[in-house]
Structure 1
Amino acid sequence: MRWQWSRKCLHEGQFPAVASVHLTVIYGASVSSNIPTSARAHSRFVSRHPLRHERAPRVQPKKMRGTATALAVAAMAAVVQAVSNTTSLNTTCVTGVYMLVARGSSELPGLGLMGGVAQKVSQAIPGSAIVPIDYPATFADYVKSEVSGALAISSAVESYTHLCPKAKIALLGYSQGGQAVMDSLCGNSEVGFVVTPDLADVYDSVVIAAVTFGDPSHIINVPWDRGTSNKTGLFPRKNITACEPFSDQIRGWCDSGDTYCDSGTNRAVHGSYFANYTTDVVDFVVSKFNASAASTSTSTTTTAAPSTSTAPTSTSTSGSTSTSTTITSTGAPSPTSAAASLTPSLATFASLVLSVLYMAML
Structure 2
Amino acid sequence: MKVTAAAAFSLVGFAAANPVDLAERQSCPKVYIFGARETTAPAGYGTAGGLVNQVKAAYSSSGAEAIVYPACGGQSSCGGASYDSSATQGTAAVVKAVTAYNQKCPDTQIVLIGYSQGGQIMDNALCGGAGSTLTGNALNAVKVGIFMGDPHYRSGQPYNVGTCTASGFAARPAGYSCSPASTSILKSYCDSTDPYCCNGNDANSHQQYVNKYGSQALAFIKSKLTA
Quick check: TM above 0.5?
A: yes
Q: Given the superposition, is the C-alpha separation of residues 224 and 107 from structure 1 closer, same or farther in structure 2, using an over 3 Å criterion?
A: same
2:184 to 248, 253, 271: 248
1:119, 1:284 → 2: CA distance? 15
2:187, 2:126 → 1: CA distance? 13
Amino acid at match of 1:136: P
1:89, 1:110 → 2: CA distance? 24
1:234 aligns with 2:192: no
Count residues with an aligned counterpart: 199
Is the Cα–Cα contact under 8 Å of residues 186 and 197 in structure 1 kept in the other structure? no
Provide the alpha-carbon RMSD of the alignment.
Answer: 2.2
Amino acid at match of 1:124: A
Q: Given the superposition, is the C-alpha separation of residues 180 and 268 from structure 1 closer, same or farther in structure 2, using an over 3 Å criterion?
A: same
Q: Given the superposition, is the C-alpha separation of residues 267 and 153 from structure 1 closer, same or farther in structure 2, using an over 3 Å criterion?
A: same
Is the Cα–Cα contact under 8 Å of residues 154 and 166 in structure 2 kept in the other structure? yes
Structure 1 length normalisation: TM-score? 0.52
Shift of 1:123: 1.0
1:196 aligns with 2:131: yes
Amino acid at match of 1:240: S
**1:242 is paired with a residue of what secondary structure?**
coil
- Deviations along 1:137-164, one digit per CA (max 9) or x if unpaired, are 0111211111111111111111111111
* Corresponding residue number in structure 1 for 2:3: none
2:61 to 123, 127, 143: 127
1:103 to 24, 37, 44: 37
1:185 aligns with 2:119: no
Q: Given the superposition, is the C-alpha separation of residues 88 and 162 from structure 1 closer, same or farther in structure 2, using an over 3 Å criterion?
A: closer
* Corresponding residue number in structure 2 for 1:217: 152
Question: What is the percent sequence identity of the aligned residues?
Answer: 31
* Corresponding residue number in structure 2 for 1:168: 109
Is the Cα–Cα contact under 8 Å of residues 125 and 286 in structure 1 kept in the other structure? no
**2:46 is paired with a residue of what secondary structure?**
coil
Question: Mapping of 1:42-61 within 5 angstroms?
Answer: none
Q: Is there any run of 5+ residues in structure 1 with no aligned partner, and where?
A: 1-84, 189-194, 294-362
2:97 to 144, 151, 156: 156
2:165, 2:218 → 1: CA distance? 24
Amino acid at match of 1:165: P
Shift of 1:272: 1.4
Q: Given the superposition, is the C-alpha separation of residues 161 and 111 from structure 1 closer, same or farther in structure 2, using an over 3 Å criterion?
A: same
**2:38 is paired with a residue of what secondary structure?**
coil
Structure showing greater radius of gyration is: 1
- Deviations along 1:265-318, one digit per CA (max 9) or x if unpaired, are 11111011121011011111111113xx4xxxxxxxxxxxxxxxxxxxxxxxxx
Q: Is there any run of 5+ residues in structure 2 with no aligned partner, and where?
A: 1-19, 75-81
Is the Cα–Cα contact under 8 Å of residues 214 and 261 in structure 1 kept in the other structure? yes
**1:165 is paired with a residue of what secondary structure?**
coil
Shift of 1:98: 0.5
Is the Cα–Cα contact under 8 Å of residues 99 and 171 in structure 1 kept in the other structure? yes
Question: Mapping of 1:1-362 within 5 angstroms?
Answer: 92-95=27-30, 97-140=31-74, 141-188=82-129, 195-238=130-173, 239-243=176-180, 245-290=181-226, 293=227
Shift of 1:197: 3.2
1:177, 1:217 → 2: CA distance? 11
Structure 2 length normalisation: TM-score? 0.81
